[in-house]
Amino acid sequence: MGISPETFRLYAVTDRAWAADEEDFFHQIEAAVRGGAAIVQLREKRLEDDAFLAEARRFAALCHELGAVSIINDRPDIALAAGADGVHVGQDDLAAGRARALLGPGKLLGVSAHSRTEALRARAAGADYLGVGAAFATGTKADARPISRETIRAVTAAVDIPAVAIGGVSRENILELRGLGLAGVAVVSGIFGQKHPEAAARELRALVEQLYSE
């Protein structure tokens, strides 16, 4: 499944920690899309399979209704059953090649990469895009260590697929990513941890566009 690199300008990654309840969680997702996130990843680490699948189906339907791309974290089986557009896997999750085999050619596959070697391996396994980081220190994933700007630039130069910076990206530091060859940024707390997610997404989208204004 191919999509325009511009789709990756603002990539929202969910975190229900800031949602009051299920309805608020989906309102936040809708707000993120309306604010400019064209692709959204549903990230759940603690739900049982039945609950995850039910949520994923609602998530995929909402994204399709709003015209956004729907990605499921870690679980190709859930992505396929829910009718989502693709899946994202980390280096410690299901191997990228196995994920591609399960998904088939018609779905998006995103892979986390922390080095040029991992990026090349992911591309060879069939990745459609990369999540590169951590770009900055982040409280969302305690074991994520920031990588250098040189490493990010080496990753984006090594592959011909879009790469988004992830990890600690915020309105305060987003412009530090200028000139690194990135297609966009992936944001968690900078959207979902804000009082007004739509306004936060809109501001981030405007800032990220500045990375490509010259």
CB 154 within 8 A of CB 117: no
Any catalytic annotation for residue 112?
Answer: yes
Amino acid at 4: S
Given 43, 57, 58, 116, the catalytic residue: 43
Catalytic residue among 70, 100, 107, 112: 112
Alpha carbon 131 to chain centroid, angstroms: 7
Going by C-alpha positions, the residue among 78, 156, 75 that lies closest to residue 115 is 156
Do 97 and 125 meet the contact criterion of CB atoms below 8 Å apart? yes
Strand 129-132 relative to strand 163-166: parallel, antiparallel, unpaired? parallel
Catalytic residue among 57, 121, 141, 153: 141
Check if 115 is active-site: no
Distance CA 105, CA 112 (A): 19
The answer to whether 141 is a known catalytic residue is: yes
State the catalytic residues: 43, 112, 141
